[in-house]
Every structure is written in C-alpha cells, then in structure tokens.
Chains A and B, each alone.
Chain A
Amino acid sequence: MNMPLVTATALRLAAGFAILLGMLWLGNLAAQYLPLPGPLVGMVLLFVFLTLHQGAASRAVIACGEHFLKHYAFFFIPAGVGVMANIPQLRSSLLGIVASLVLSSLLSLVVTAMTMHVLLNRRRATWKDASLHG
C-alpha cells in the first residue's frame, strides 16, 4: 500500500536531482565566460529560480537539496584525503601556514564583527533590536 507514496517520493527526489544537475550544467556553461566556479553560478541560478518560481519543481528541488545540505560536510572528504598527496609541501612551511591561518582568521573575525556591529547600532533606532539585551 505504501508503494505509490515511495514511488512518488523517489520520483520527486529524482526530479529535484535533475534540476540541481541542470542548474550545475548551466552554471558550468556560464562559468566559461565568468571568473567564477560553475557550481557557484549554479547556486545563484537556483536562488533566482526559487525566488521567481514557487511550484512543484521548486518543492522537488528543495526536497532533494535538503538531503544534500544535511550531509554537506560528507562531500568534502575526498578533498581532505587529498592532503596525503601534498604532505611534503606542507612540512617545509608549517609555521607560515599555521601563523597565516590563525592571524588571518583573527583579523577577519574582528573586521567583520566591528563593521556589522557599528553599522547595525548606527541604525538601531529604526530596527527592532535583536541582541541578547533586547
């Protein structure tokens, strides 16, 4: 009795996956003429698609895409494993790499936080304050 539901879900996920691949294909196509990676262009195309269209196709791509996002970190594993092929390059510059990662992270944190903090507070009177104090 559950078979039709299972089939419908599978079809919807397959349709959603097809749309994701379609956006990726278009993104890769456009990326040949842009200084941007194809999947990133595909992401923007999907954003535009979801903003303009709110029908069955959008629901299908959201249903499928949520599964990908839930396990997003999993797809990074092969890239991470690739480090084993590059260990010699890392060993010679370990201090520089660690210092660069820590200092640039610290700088980026402070710059981002202070910029947003100052600009939000400047216009606080016009907004409902969403801070912990609010």
Chain B
Amino acid sequence: MDRLGLTVFYIALSIAAFAFGKAVNRRARHPAANATLIAMLVVIAVLLLSHQNYAAYMRHGGGAIAWLLGPATVALGIPLARHAKTMARESWPIGAAIVAGAVSAAISAPLILSVLGGSKILALSMAPKAVTTPIAMQISAHIGGVPALAALFAIVGGIIVAIIAEPVLARLGITDHRVFGLTAGVAGSGIGAAQAVSRNPQAGAYAALAVGVNAIVTAILVPVFWSWHWL
C-alpha cells in the first residue's frame, strides 16, 4: 500500500477496533472488557500479523489520532465548569479526599515497584498511574518515564479500580454515591469514572470532578516529588 492508503487503513482500523471494543463492552457488561484495551489489542494484533511496527503505525495515522488527544484533554474543562457549583459547596471534603488519594497513589505505586525490583524508568512511568491517561503520559514524559508505559499502567490501573471499587466500599460499609464516584475517579481516572457513570448519575458527576482535580493535583505533586530524588 502507498503512504496515503496505509494512513487511511490505520485510521479506519483504529476506528473499527474502537467500535468493536465498545460493542464487546456493551455485551459483556463487565469493567474488564474495556473498549480502549480491546481496541489497542486488536490494533497490535493486526500490526504483528502484517509484520509492521509501532513507528509505522504512528507515521501513518496513529500520530494524528494521538495529536487530537491535546484538544480532547482541553475539552475536559467543560464538565469541570459544569460541576463548579457542586465543587464549591463541598470543596473541603472533596479537596481533602482527592489530595489524600492522589498522594497515596503517587507515592505507593512507584515505591512498591522499586521495592519489588522494577527499574527507575518503570517507576517513573508508574508514578502518575492514577490520573487520566493523556495527563499520565505527559507527566511521565516530563519526569523521564515512558509515555506508552504510563498509558498502559493508567489503563490497567483504571480497570483494576473499576473491578474492585464496589466490593471494597461495600466492605468499608460506605454506600454514599458521592463517595463512590469521587473514589472511582481519584483511583481509577477515566475508566473508574465510566464505571461510576454506569452506576448512578450523581456518582458520575463526582467522578468527573475527581478525574479533573486529581490530574491537576498529581501533575503538580509528582514532578515535585521526583525533583527531590526521594527514591
């Protein structure tokens, strides 16, 4: 295929893989059937079967999709503005919970990985794993990690949170939709928020809020931690 044909093919493949992932997610009704995860596995499988590499995918269409992550991330300001009144009314419990959750994730994840023998570059990629994927990638790039690994850790971390959030809160005896939404958003970012939206609209609103604020808190905290070279 020529250059243009390959670009059209890879963009079409990405869209088709995502549509397939969404269809599987709707059928399976399980957070582990994550649309992005399924789509990326399909694209990887096609690349491997056609003996192509990641650089070829990025040169022909993948890079364009990745570039659109920028304006898409800016658009997160919309739900943030929409929920500003809620945020202001309960700002103290929300703010304290997000900071506590963000700090515990940003410190424990790279620390556990280092203790178990992970390299420094892996730990740097793991540090922002609780924030929304595009921001996790940017933070990891900023501190010297690998954006692709940060994306994987953020996605897999989000899936883990989506699976365990409800049983853990049930065990703690917490049934408040606001707490469930905020917790899923802080610990599991976008995928946790998607889980919260599917449970209850109020939980979804708090999760959206948590994803946005956690991104800001972690983007400030993680580079500061790493500038201290504490590990």
A: which residues have CB within 8 A of B?
17, 20-21, 23-24, 27, 35-40, 42-47, 49-51, 61-62, 64-66, 68-69, 71-86, 89-90, 93, 95-97, 99-117, 119-120, 123, 127, 130-133
Instruction: Determine if A81 and B122 form an interchain contact, defined as CB atoms under 8 angstroms apart.
Output: no
**Using Cβ atoms and an 8 Å threshold, which residues of chain B touch A27?**
74
Query: Across the two chains, which residue of chain B brings its CB closest to A17?
Result: B71
Q: Whole-angstrom distance from the CB of A31 to the nearest CB of chain B?
A: 9
Instruction: Determine if B175 and A131 form an interchain contact, defined as CB atoms under 8 angstroms apart.
Output: yes
Q: For chain B, what secondary structure do more than half of its interface residues adopt (helix, strand, loop), or is it mixed? A: helix
Instruction: Say whether, besides A37-B135, A40-B138, A77-B17, A69 and B47 are in contact (CB < 8 Å).
Output: no
Instruction: Determine if B177 and A93 form an interchain contact, defined as CB atoms under 8 angstroms apart.
Output: no
Which bracket fits the contact residues of B?
35 or more
Q: Whole-angstrom distance from the CB of A15 to the nearest CB of chain B?
A: 13
Q: How far apart sit A93 and B68, CA to CA, in the bound complex (Å)?
A: 32
**Using Cβ atoms and an 8 Å threshold, which residues of chain B touch A64?**
75
Instruction: Say whether, besides A77-B65, A78-B65, A120 and B93 are in contact (CB < 8 Å).
Output: yes
Contact indicator per residue, chain B 145-183, by CB within 8 Å of chain A (1) or not (0): 011110111011100110011001100101111111011
Partner of A74, one of B14, B92, B100, B174: B14
**Using Cβ atoms and an 8 Å threshold, which residues of chain B touch A72?**
72, 75, 190
Q: Does B144 make an interface contact (CB < 8 A)?
A: no
